Amino acid sequence: MAKIGLYFGSFNPIHIGHIAIAGYMTEFSGLDQVWFVVSPHNPLKKKETLLAGYHRLFMVQAAIGDNLRLKATDIEFKLPLPSYTIDTIAYLEEKYPNHEFCLVMGEDNLYTLHRWKNADELIGKHEIYVYPRPDAVKADSQRLDEILKKALIHRSGAPMIELSGTFIRDGIKQGKNMSYFVPPAVWKYIVEMHFYEK
C-alpha cells in the first residue's frame, strides 16, 4: 500500500518553497509520494487574486516535470464547492483503495484545525505531516488543544522557508524579476501570460 501525502493549497503560484517541502517529505518522512491538491478556493481565504484553477494546475504540473514521486491533481475541481478536506479524502479513498492518505501541512494550518469541517473524523483516520512555518501562532483554543492531543502528528525537520505566493505576486506587481523564487517553467508561463502584473 502506497503512503501518499496530500499537500493542499491554492499554489498561486507554486514556488520553490512548495517543491522543497514536497521533496523533503518524500525523501525524509517515509512518504512514497506527495500529491499537490490544487484547491479551487480555500473557504478560509480571500479569493481576490486567485488565478483560474487550470492555470494554477498547469504551473504545478510544469514545476513537477517528470518527478515520479510528486503529482498534481485537480480532484477538487470536480467536487462541490466549497472544498472541504474531509470530503476530498473520502472521494480519493474510494477511487484509490490501495493508497493510504496522509496530510502534509504547514504549522500555521495545523493551528486552524479547530475550524475545519469534521476535524475529529479527519484526525482520527489520517496522520499529519507538519513542516515549520515562521508565522505560525497557536490559537488559544480549548477545542484546538483537544484536537492536537488526539491527532497523530509528525513534525518534520524541514528547513524553514520564508516564501509566499503573496510575496511573489507583490514583487511581480512592482515590476521585479521574481524568477529566483519559482521553477523556471513556472516563471516562463507567468511572463508569457502576464500574470499578477496588475
| Ranges of each domain in the chain | 2-163
- Name residues whose C-beta falls within 8 Å of residue 33's C-beta, 6 or more positions apart in sequence: 2, 4, 5, 26, 68, 69, 70, 71
Q: What is the pLDDT along the chain (198 residues), one digit of tens a residue?
A: 999 999 999 999 999 999 999 999 999 999 999 999 999 876 556 666 789 999 999 999 999 999 999 999 999 999 998 889 999 999 999 999 999 999 999 999 999 999 999 999 999 999 999 999 888 889 899 999 999 999 999 999 998 888 999 999 999 999 999 999 999 999 999 999 999 998
- What is residue 61's predicted lDDT score, i.e. its pLDDT? 98
How far is Cα 93 from Cα 75, in angstroms, rounded to an integer? Answer: 12
pLDDT 10s digits, 85-103 = 999 999 999 999 999 999 9
Burial class (CB in 10 A: 0-12, 13-18, 19+), 167: middle
How far is Cα 191 from Cα 165, in angstroms, rounded to an integer? Answer: 15
Show the cell assigned to 104. 502534509
How far is Cα 172 from Cα 161, in angstroms, rounded to an integer? Answer: 20
3-class state of residue 109 by DSSP:
helix
Q: Which CATH architecture has domain 2-163?
A: 3-Layer(aba) Sandwich (3.40)
pTM metric for this prediction: 0.94
Indicate the residue type of 28. F
